[in-house]
Amino acid sequence: MILKIENARVFIANKITYAEILIEDERIKKIAKIIDEKPDEKINAKNRLVIPAFIDSHVHVRDFFERYKEDYITASKAAIAGGVTTILEMPNTKPEIVNCEILNARIELARKKSYVDFGIFIGFNGKNLDEILSARTNLVKVYMDGTLGEIDYKDVEQLVEFSDKTIAFHAEDYKRIKENREKKLHHLVRDEYAELIAVKKISDIAKKYRKRIHICHVTCKDSFLYMNEYTTKEVTFHHIFFTNNLYERFGVMANINPPLRKLSDRNFLIEMLMKNRIDIIASDHAPHTLDEKIKGAPGFPCLDIFAKLVLTLMNYKILTLEQVINYCCKNPAKIFGIKNKGEILPNYYADLLIIDYKKEGIIKQEEFYSKSKFTPFDGFKYKGDIDTVILRGEIVYYDNEIIGKKGYGKYIGDL
């Protein structure tokens, strides 16, 4: 199938240019002012902006025994609604993705259900280095907070030394969290120091072995300033938009790991984003039922509103268009080795968004495709949303509707 996008304003070579895009099968074939070849189908972009589709490198899909919270169908539909055509999913599932057998079962499950392309992290639990080295994924996740068991920094050192895969860290020190147990309040148990301890040790290990590592959801200034040239950094929408005063409105429903921090930390993260000192913005989509949230389960669903939030940041002039593409397309592709995605270039996969930059509205959590429907963004006034989503040359979202297909999503290891 040959598809042509006409009347587009395309962000290429860091500039907005009027152009037409020719897509053949799954890939971009040509970008030019005028393309003469006759397509099978045309899309009129109506002078709107066309940018690469988003890659969300931090997603909890659940499924397996936690299908009641979320499954691959609902999570990947939520992704499309958010302009995300590639998700990288985290291994703290039930059962946990900590060996090749479960990883392979997971790839098969996602192949059957996913509407979007997906990569899967294998989790390191301190004892499974062999499994990690032979796994069919280049993505490794390490939880220093005890999520997949209590892991010593000595074990992390071994992993960093012997593996050449991309290792992402949840950096909160489990010993510090345990010591703080008595403090009861979530953000005092998981305090800034818990993050700082883990960040220091991990950054030092990366430097010692001269290996690049990735730190997920950075939340505070002190830990940010400790990182070195071997660490790439992610921030989440929740830590950009909210502070720990959310506890006054929502009590334990405001829980998230690592917790929301004070205003000065939040402002610092925004400053770092504006100065290009961050690498990735991710959703950390973490679905729970309302009952579980009321009891304090950490995290929020966020895939559905990825585009609305990031385009609002652009409309607020916190991010430029170039930064949006760097943080949500180009850098995730580069850091996690996703080939031929994240940019609009000939031979790259045609993963594209047509943007309605001026569209305004109110976020309504009950409209989420995600099974999880509690977000602190409910009622938030956004400006900017997607108009059309294209994944590998197929239109998967148009006219406020998902028209993609279950099982169309591919494993990034097969691309």
Contacts of 20 (CB under 8 A, 6+ apart): 4, 5, 6, 8, 31, 32, 33, 34, 35
Q: Are 2 and 22 in contact (CB under 8 A)?
A: yes
- DSSP assignment of 346-386 equals TTSB--EEEEEEEEEEE--GGG-SSS----TTTT-EEEEEE
Residue 92 contact, options Zn ion, ligand DOR, none, Cβ 5-8 Å cut-off depending on partner type: ligand DOR
Give CA–CA dist 105/366, Å, rounded. 32
Q: Is 170 a residue that touches Zn ion (CB under 5 A)?
A: yes
Cβ 352 vs Cβ 383: under 8 Å: no
Do strands 49-52 and 352-362 pair parallel, antiparallel, or not at all (unpaired)? Answer: antiparallel
Candidates 4, 48, 58, 60; binder of ligand DOR (CB under 6 A) is 60
- Other C-beta atoms closer than 10 Å to the C-beta of 233 total 19
- Tell whether residue 238 is a contact of ligand DOR (CB under 6 A): no
From candidates 82, 119, 123, 298, binder to ligand DOR by CB under 6 A? 298
Binding-site partner at residue 298 among Zn ion, ligand DOR, none, CB < 5 to 8 Å by type: ligand DOR
Minimum Å gap between C-beta 145 and ligand DOR is 7
Interface with ligand DOR, residue 74, by CB under 6 A? no
Tell me which of 10, 87, 286, 344 binds ligand DOR, using CB under 6 A.
286
DSSP run (H or E) holding 178:
helix 174-179
Binding partner selected for residue 283 from Zn ion, ligand DOR, none, CB under the kind-specific 5 to 8 Å limit: none
Contact flag: residue 170 with ligand DOR (CB under 6 A): yes
Smallest distance, ligand DOR to C-beta of residue 60, A: 4
Is residue 372 a contact residue for ligand DOR (CB under 6 A)? Answer: no
Helix axes 192-209, 153-162, angle to 10 degrees: 40
Range 246-275, binding ligand DOR (CB under 6 A): 256-257
Asked if 284 interacts with Zn ion (CB under 5 A), we say yes
> Choosing from 284, 304, 351, 385, which is the catalytic residue?
284
Q: Is 92 in the site for ligand DOR (CB under 6 A)?
A: yes
Asked if 284 is an active-site residue, the reply is yes
What is the gyration radius of the CA atoms in the chain, in angstroms?
21
For residue 308, what are its two tokens?
Answer: 């609305």
Residues at the interface with ligand DOR (CB under 6 A): 60, 92, 170, 256-257, 286, 298-299
Residues at the interface with Zn ion (CB under 5 A): 170, 284
- Which residues are part of the catalytic machinery? 284
